Amino acid sequence: GSSLGVVSLMRLAVAAILLGIAQPAAAISHRKLDNHQCKVMCQRFGMKAMGPEFRSIHHPNECVVKCDEVYPKKVVAPGSF
């Protein structure tokens, strides 16, 4: 009776939590990053969520170098502020 309902409710709660955790990582990989945001993600060990170019990287220092390749810094011309 009621124990079956509790088990179902617990499973639903666990599924909701897991989906909530997985969603931000998926959102990051589909979002366009700039050079700075990329490097912040590297320092937070978010390489797996950053796309195929970063999946094989396991250290933030390597990741930061890859950010400069994939997301080059934009040069701001003097006086264009």
What integer pLDDT is reported at residue 23 of this predicted model?
A: 47
Q: Are 47 and 63 in contact, with CB atoms under 8 Å apart?
A: yes
**Cβ-count burial 53-62 (b if 16+ within 10 Å, e if not):** ebeebeebee
For the chain, the straight-line distance linking the first and the last C-alpha, in angstroms and rounded, comes to: 68
* Distant-in-sequence, close-in-space partners of 46: CB < 8 Å, separation ≥ 6: 25, 28
pLDDT of residue 67: 95
> Which pTM does this prediction carry?
0.56
Q: Give residue-wise pLDDT tens across range 16-64.
A: 666 665 545 444 544 688 999 999 999 999 999 998 999 999 999 999 9
pLDDT of residue 32: 80
